[in-house]
Structure 1
């Protein structure tokens, strides 16, 4: 069996689409398809079901994925340790994370990490869905929902708070204050309801089911920008909004939402020194900046 064919299989399993896998491998899609068919012929089984949604692993495909991923991780670990003059804490670590936590909490604090671990390369991957650690989409995931996959290592990272924020220009339009009894009457900024990948982001349902947003976006950065422009009011993570002095926290005592984040990785990834160093750094980072996550 050709290792290159296994790499083709792994990439299709991760991306679930032939054209995306081809792009990542810098190969022609027709060539990729031929390689996959050749592998299936060698194994005398179908590894994927071809659907309108893409390539979905069959039961045999799921079995092969477990062994193929282990082969890949073992090979990567071997290369890391065998390289001459290569320090123990060295290599690339991909962190799959939400846009807000990645952009406004992790990224601003990576300078200290790079000073301590100059040979570790960080890649922040923003996902608007649950990250598939089992398919090697990332080395470490920071998840909003606690995964149910028992084959991964899962550890609670932290709690964080969300509150209601507005810009002074909008508050001027509503006579300088927000009336809790009239929440549905204000201009709201929020997520696109039918595109939410988790109910953890359905903040407005916790406040008032009658609220109908005037502006919606799948991007928290776009929501933040809209609130900052004075377009309306919205719920933002405190670790994001508290760093912007132009935003005003409204109904501070009455509106407080708490969510949790979880660290997730594969046991074989956790054994790699550079992955474990990033894991421990993320834990230390949240402990150090507790007041930013949950303001007093």
Structure 2
């Protein structure tokens, strides 16, 4: 006979929530102020009480099982109730913690300023940002929102477009003077391309972005888009960069305008119930509002730059 589920200990449930969010026992232990053995013991107690596995190991850390998702939902409701217990009656209804995973360029350029403005209106709201360029996770228990590149294929989730952008080619004038300015895509075969490490690239849309380009000679590759910018600015080659970074870097000029651009879009993904959560809904609205204004300002700035040349 299968084991009969028992009442799970509260400390085990909240410890599990920390592991589900952070993905590692050691990280959860540090946040909770306990040791690794205590975390492991509490997770074992929760699994015994629930009669099954709540976590499974993966390459990126611990992932939540189907049974674990039920535990996450209960633990989050308990956490929210405890927050209401200690919160003052100040009329500020948006409070709690919103955890967002997003690519680092989007995080720095759009997300950080948007969240700073949001917290000016709602100082009881805590925002945790995890920089990650990866495909959307089918299990989103560790975060409330994910910003991903390309339209996601997800189940039991709410997805909405945030903004569009383009990958373009950039280099420094000094690099182009030292080598030669390409006049066609075929000419790129003679230039190192600065881009992502192919073996580490998890996003299909970013992989497809360079499939129309000729094979690159040996070059500098990185998992960091800001490393791409700095390597390009240092004259390491021609960088494949987001337009919202490349167009506004005074060290760079666009290469082969009109001959190459790869359109992309950022999407926001939340669990189905997430969009009905006041804090998450406000966060989504703040992101959409800020990116819309920021991109309008960038387009205006780009037009003024073109007229001044």
Shorter-chain TM-score: which interval?
A: 0.7 to 0.9
Aligned counterpart for 1:34 among listed residues 11, 30, 41 = 41
Give the distance between the partners of 1:116 and 1:162, measured in 2 at CA: 34
Alignment of 1:270-281 (within 5 A): 270-281=275-286
Give the distance between the partners of 2:145 and 2:267, measured in 1 at CA: 10
Would the aligned equivalents of 1:96 and 1:126 in 2 still touch at CA under 8 Å? Answer: yes
Give the distance between the partners of 1:54 and 1:235, measured in 2 at CA: 30
Alignment of 1:77-88 (within 5 A): 77-82=80-85, 83-86=87-90, 87-88=92-93
Tell me how many residue pairs correspond in the alignment.
292
Alignment of 1:187-198 (within 5 A): 187-198=192-203
Q: Which stretch shifts more, 30-39 or 104-113?
A: 104-113
Q: How far 1:216 moved relative to its partner? A: 0.4
Alignment pair present for 1:92 and 2:97: yes
- Unaligned 5+ runs, structure 1: none
- Structure 1 residues 279, 102: CA separation in 2 closer, same or farther (over 3 Å shift)? same
Q: Secondary structure at the match of 2:210?
A: helix
Q: How far 1:184 moved relative to its partner? A: 1.0
Would the aligned equivalents of 1:12 and 1:18 in 2 still touch at CA under 8 Å? Answer: yes
Q: Secondary structure at the match of 1:85?
A: coil
Give the distance between the partners of 2:78 and 2:105, measured in 1 at CA: 33
Q: Which stretch shifts more, 47-56 or 195-204?
A: 47-56
Q: How far 1:141 moved relative to its partner? A: 1.3
- Unaligned 5+ runs, structure 2: 1-7, 304-309
Residue in structure 2 matched with residue 12 of structure 1 by the alignment: 19
Would the aligned equivalents of 1:190 and 1:213 in 2 still touch at CA under 8 Å? Answer: no
Alignment pair present for 1:22 and 2:26: no
Alpha-carbon displacement from aligned partner over 1:158-199 (angstroms, at most 9, x marks no partner): 221111111111111124455432111112211100000112
Q: How far 1:258 moved relative to its partner? A: 0.5
TM-score for both structures, normalised by structure 2: 0.82
Alpha-carbon displacement from aligned partner over 1:219-253 (angstroms, at most 9, x marks no partner): 00111001111111111111111221221011111
Give the distance between the partners of 2:170 and 2:163, measured in 1 at CA: 22
Would the aligned equivalents of 1:69 and 1:135 in 2 still touch at CA under 8 Å? Answer: no
Q: CA RMSD in A?
A: 2.8
Give the distance between the partners of 1:266 and 1:53, measured in 2 at CA: 20
- Structure 1 residues 74, 142: CA separation in 2 closer, same or farther (over 3 Å shift)? same
Q: Secondary structure at the match of 1:9?
A: helix
Q: How far 1:27 moved relative to its partner? A: 2.0
Q: Which stretch shifts more, 13-22 or 123-132?
A: 13-22
Q: How far 1:213 moved relative to its partner? A: 4.6
Alignment of 1:1-296 (within 5 A): 1-48=8-55, 55=62, 61-63=65-67, 65-82=68-85, 83-86=87-90, 87-130=92-135, 132=137, 134-202=139-207, 205-291=210-296, 292=298
- Structure 1 residues 92, 66: CA separation in 2 closer, same or farther (over 3 Å shift)? closer
TM-score for both structures, normalised by structure 1: 0.85
